[in-house]
Chains A and B, each alone.
Chain A
Amino acid sequence: MRKLHFALIALAAFAFGLLSSCSVVQKGTDVLVSSGKMKESDQKTILKTGEAIRSTFADISEEEEYYIGRAVAALILSKYQVYNNDQLTDYVNTVGSAVAGYSDRPETYAGYHFLVLDSDEVNAMAAPGGFIFITKGLLGKCRTEEMLGAVLAHEVGHVAAKHGLQSIKKSRLVDAFKLLGTEAAKRYGPKELSQLTDLFEGVLADVAGTLIERGYDRKYEYEADKLSVKFASRTGYNPNGLTEFLKNLEGTSATGPTAKGWFKTHPSPEDRIEKAKTDISGLGKTPKTEPVRTERFLSFVAGLK
C-alpha cells in the first residue's frame, strides 16, 4: 500500500512537472489538501519537483529578468549621469524601439527603453529586460541614423539573446533555484528574503560587472553584431551602418589600449568588420541609406555638447 502511495505521488509529480504550470499545480494540490485527500507534505514534494526543473539562465522568468534589469540599470545610473535632452532622448527611443520592434524579441516584460548618458566615453550597455544606455561620446561618433540604428540593434541583440543573464554564475543560479524550490510561499519570510537578497546582490555583481567592467565574451559580441545586421536590415536600415561605425573608430583612442566602455573588452573593430561583412553578404539584397534619415539624425545631434 505504501508503494502504491508513492507511485501515485510520483505519477502526479511527473504529470504536474510535465505540464509545469505551477499555478495550476498549486491550485490543484491546494484543493486536494483542503479536502483532506492529500497530505501537506506530499503537496510540498510535488511543488518541489516542479521547481527543481529550473536550472539555467533560460529558466529565469520574464519578471525576474525585469527585476534584475531594473537593478542593473540603477547601478549603471549610479556611475553615469543622464544627458537630459528630451528631444534627443525621444529620437533615440524611436530609433531603438524601431529596431527592437523588428528584432526576434520585440516584447519583454516591461518593454525596451533607452537613455543617453552624459559621458564622453564611447560606450553603450544593455541591462536585461531592455534597459539600454548609449553615451553622448558614442552618439558623437555616429554620422548617420544607420550607424545609430546599428549600435542600438547590437544592444537589442544582447537583450534578445539574454547575454546579460548568461553572465550570472551557474552556481549562483543553482543556489537561487534551490532556495526557491523549498519555499512555496508567495511572500517570503525574513530568513528566505535575506538569503534571496544576498543572491540577488550576487547576480547584480555578475551582470553589472560584466556590462560595466569586464565586458562580454567575444562570442557574444560577434553574435550581437550578427543580430544587429539582421534587425537593422529588417527595419529598413542599410546594415553597413555597423561596419561604417566600426571603421569610424579604427585607430582612435576609442579602440586603443586605453579604451573604455564599448571597446574595452570588445574584439578589435577590424575583426568585427570582417565578420559583419560576411553576415551582410549573406543577406543578399539590403536596404540603401536614405539621405532623409541622415538629415534628421544630424538635426537631432547638432546641439550635442
Chain B
Amino acid sequence: MKKPFRVPVLFCTLMILFTFLLAETLIIKIQTTNLRKEPKFYGQTTAVLKAGDSLEKIGVQDGWIQVRTSNGQVGWIHSSAVETPKFNLLASNKGLKTQASANEVALASKGFNKQVEESYRAKHGEISFVWVDKMLKLKIPPSQMESFLKKGKLAEFGGAK
C-alpha cells in the first residue's frame, strides 16, 4: 500500500519546530529601518534593514534589541520593528494561536496591499494621494534630531528621564 507523505510531512514539521525553538531569530516587519550603533532612535546608523530580513537576537535593553545581521554586523533595533517568532499556547481561548502579530510578516503583500490601493484609486479619482506621498518624504535626519534635543535640553541632554 502506498504511504503518500507520512514521513516527509512528519520530518519537515519536526525540523521546522526544532529550528524555531532553538534559534532566537527575529524578522523585520516594517518597510525599512536602520541598524543603530546605540540603543536610541537617533543613534548613528550602521546598516539599512528591510522587511523580511532576519536577525539573531543577542540582548535587550528598554525596548531595544541588540542583534547580529546575516553578514555578522552587530547593532541595535527597536522591538517595534521586528517580529518575534515565539509562540504562546495559551494566547487564545479559541484554540491554538500565535502571538497577536505572528502572521504579519507571513502575510506581507497580501490583504490590503498596493494592488487594492490601486483598485480603490481607480474607483475614486477624486481622492488625491499627492500630499500623502509628499508627507512620506518628511523625515528628520538623526543628526538634526540630536541637535534639536541638545538645544532644547531634552531627553539625555536635560537630565530628565
A residues contacting B by CB (< 8 A) are 1, 4-5, 8, 11-12, 14-25, 28, 32, 37-38, 50-51, 53-55, 58-64, 66-68, 70-71, 73-75, 77-78, 82, 89-90, 93-94, 97-98, 101-102, 104-111, 113-115, 131, 145, 176, 180, 186-188, 193-194, 196-197, 200-201, 203-204, 233-237, 286-288, 290, 292-293, 296
Q: Is B154 an interface residue (CB 8 A)?
A: yes
B105 to chain A, nearest CB (A): 7
Given the complex, which residues of B lie within 8 Å of A90, measured CB to CB? 138, 140
Known: A4-B6, A193-B115. A24 touches B16 (CB 8 A): yes
Asked if B16 and A71 sit within 8 Å, CB to CB, the answer is: no
DSSP majority for the B interface?
A: loop
User: What residue in chain B is nearest A201 (Cβ atoms)?
Assistant: B120
Asked if B131 and A77 sit within 8 Å, CB to CB, the answer is: yes
Task: Kindly name the residue among B30, B103, B104, B112 whose own CB sees the greatest number of chain A CB atoms within 10 A.
Answer: B112
Asked if B154 and A94 sit within 8 Å, CB to CB, the answer is: no
DSSP majority for the A interface?
A: helix
Q: Is B17 an interface residue (CB 8 A)?
A: yes
Q: Is B113 an interface residue (CB 8 A)?
A: yes
Task: Kindly name the residue among A196, A201, A203 whose own CB sees the greatest number of chain B CB atoms within 10 A.
Answer: A196
Having A8-B9, A193-B115, one finds 14 other A-B pairs with CB under 8 Å, namely A15-B17, A18-B98, A19-B17, A19-B85, A32-B5, A37-B5, A53-B103, A70-B129, A77-B131, A176-B111, A180-B111, A188-B115, A235-B154, A236-B158
Partner of B41, one of A1, A78, A101, A286: A101
